[in-house]
Amino acid sequence: MKRILTCMLVSGAILSLAVTPVAAMKVTDKDVLDDAKTPGDVVSHGLGTKMQRYSPSTKINDKNVKDLVPAWTFSFGAEKQRGQQSQPVVRDGVMFVTGSYSRVFALDAKTGKKKWEYNHRLPEGILPCCDVINRGGALYENLFIYGTLDSLLVALDVDTGKVVWKEKVGDYADGYSITNAPTIAKGMVLTGMAGGEFGVIGRVQAHDAKTGKMIWIRPTVEGHMGYKDGKENGVSGTVNQTWPGELWKTGGSAPWMGGTYDPDTNMYYVGTGNPSPWNSYLRPGDNLFSSSVVAIDVDSGKIAWYFQLTPNDGWDFDAMTLAVPYTDKAGRKLLAKPDKNGFFYVLDAKTGEFVRGFPFVKKITWATGLTKEGKPIWVPENRPGNPLKSADGKKGTTVFTAPSFLGGTNQQGIAFSPDTNLFYVPTVEWGMDIWNEPISYKKGAAYLGAGFTIKKLDPKDIGGDYMGALRAIDPATGKIVCEVRDPAPLWGGALVTKGNLVFWGTPDGQIKAADAKTCKELWSYQTGSGIVAPPMTWEQDGEQYVALVSGWGGAVPLWGGEVAKATAGITQGGSVTVFKLFKSAKK
């Protein structure tokens, strides 16, 4: 662990580079709310604050996708080729995309010509857990807003790339960082933060999107005070109700993927991370609000409800995957959440009531299922052993667990189509050996108390020799309607369109498209580096474009054990490629 973390310590000191001013633009609250319905721009991560990753565009469809060709490619720079997990945003013919090391590029969306570049000055000693990645930003007014590895929110002028405001969200020396793309809601920029592996206190913050001023802060660890407008705003939960002793003071539960905003309920749904440390014997109890979905009222900054998926988590099954709002055929407002722990959850979006749950991976060993309330039915012997009861007091009993701690799904963005009523989930089938070790908290040091090795599963247990699968899942029945398998773990997100297409990327560098109803592959293109980012699409001047960032990295090569060795030959990179239909194919 120490070796891996040490390799992540980086610094940067390159100033903002202004090249060509872009045309003035202004993104309003209405533009944000209408983002999912307006194919002419994409101003939010996930193509809308609900992050359904659905586009109403049909110009590219299942009949002509075979004629999709590259329009242009832009390189982020060869000297900084690390994991690239960003989704671009586009407005008024300009694309804004982030790269590793907290960089931002503004590009002509039709040609790829660089308008300006901003390189954030990173200090020595930052502590990102899982590569120096960034997942993107949001547009509001005339600002591009994103988070940095030293835990700042930064707002850049869209015309020049100059800093308009920047606000500190957490102390990077404690282990805080921001890798998620922020969400705009009611003129506020909402963000979570990373750092659970260092014993930080997970929290969600809301800042004025125009000025950066902090409006409210809501801790996601029981016992910590929230604040609004600089005043106390109530404790999250009750001190020591589900946490023993003093461990709640370094409780983790970091919402490192951020969340989704549903204006219909006025709630920000955030998935929280693992409790700290991983060694669960040190913290008996449910350890709220870790490994949970937490619904926060965006006006008050208070928790409206929560649902815990893995109480007393002992496997790093943090529940940070996005909870995506949707409406079922009966008109009920629901949340869908495929979780790292291998189960797919459907919750009532207004109340958090458990509606249904089912496995979406083929092999789960830590639980036999879910109760009618949605709680896991434990397999006690599959929890890693207590090191204090071992012969030497240094290492508890090792157990084999599936899924692995990297999850049945993870940071990959899922997609929902109101046309098929299916969710498209990039899924991984793998397991791990895991054991507990003694640990004590030290500021800025890794705070795990566990060791692990990720392993491939026996093909007989999952019905074939593969690790990744893009699965089309019916949330009403739990049925896997169709799937496309891949020999490597799928680590990039999905995009679905009204043109009956689903797009996704693979670790060997291919962007693919398939029929959204049957999963039949229809098109692919080799980008040159492994893909760990989600595709997006927009329309401009009568044409539809598809864009995807490529650049292998992130958690899999750092933490993947045997799997990382199997993918060691994948070329690193850092670029964004944009596609459109070949002109002769247009009608």
Catalytic residue positions? 316
pLDDT at residue 584 in the model: 61
How far is it, in rounded angstroms, from Cα 271 to Cα 202? Answer: 11
Ranges of beta strands (E only) in 263-420 are 267-271, 292-297, 303-308, 324-327, 333-338, 343-348, 354-359, 367-370, 376-378, 399-401, 415-417
Q: pLDDT tens for residues 390-416? A: 888 889 999 999 999 999 999 999 999
Can you give the pLDDT of all 587 residues of the chain as single tens digits? Answer: 333 333 333 333 344 444 444 445 799 999 999 999 999 999 999 999 999 999 999 999 999 999 999 999 999 986 666 899 999 999 999 999 999 999 999 999 999 999 999 999 999 989 888 889 999 999 999 999 999 999 999 999 999 999 999 999 999 999 999 999 999 999 999 999 999 999 999 999 999 999 999 999 999 999 999 999 999 999 999 999 999 899 999 999 999 999 999 999 999 999 999 999 999 999 999 999 999 999 999 999 999 999 999 999 999 999 999 999 999 999 999 999 999 999 999 999 999 999 999 999 999 999 999 999 999 999 999 999 999 998 888 899 999 999 999 999 999 999 999 999 999 999 999 999 999 999 999 998 999 999 999 999 999 999 999 999 999 999 999 999 999 999 999 999 999 999 999 999 999 999 999 999 999 999 999 999 999 999 999 999 999 999 999 999 988 888 878 888 778 888 888 999 999 999 864 44
Instruction: Please report, for residues 242, 339, 422, 440, 466, the alpha-carbon distance to residue 414 in angstroms, rounded to integers and kept in the order given.
Output: 31, 11, 10, 36, 20
- Which residues have C-beta within 8 Å of that of residue 195, sequence separation ≥ 6? 127, 129, 170, 174, 175, 176, 177, 202, 252, 254, 256
Amino acid at 364: I
How far is it, in rounded angstroms, from Cα 500 to Cα 412? Answer: 21
Of 269, 257, 106, 254, nearest in space to 185 by CA: 269
pLDDT at residue 7 in the model: 34
pLDDT at residue 561 in the model: 80
In the block, which residue shows the tokens 């939010």? 44
How far is it, in rounded angstroms, from Cα 576 to Cα 547? Answer: 7
Look at phi and psi of residue 541 and say left if phi exceeds 0, alpha if psi is from -120 to 50, else beta.
Answer: left
Q: Which domain holds residue 476?
A: 2-585
pLDDT at residue 506 in the model: 97
Helix (H/G/I), strand (E/B), else coil: 25: coil
Token couple for 333: 């407002």
Q: pLDDT tens for residues 160-177? A: 999 999 999 999 999 999
How far is it, in rounded angstroms, from Cα 191 to Cα 217? Answer: 10
How far is it, in rounded angstroms, from Cα 148 to Cα 152? Answer: 5
- Looking at the structure of the chain, the number of domains it has is 1
How far is it, in rounded angstroms, from Cα 538 to Cα 547? Answer: 9
How far is it, in rounded angstroms, from Cα 551 to Cα 81? Answer: 7
Instruction: Name the pairing type of β-strands 54-55 and 494-497.
Output: parallel
pLDDT at residue 24 in the model: 58
End-to-end CA distance of the chain: 56
How far is it, in rounded angstroms, from Cα 248 to Cα 283? Answer: 9
pLDDT at residue 19 in the model: 46
CATH classification at residue 509: 2.140.10.10
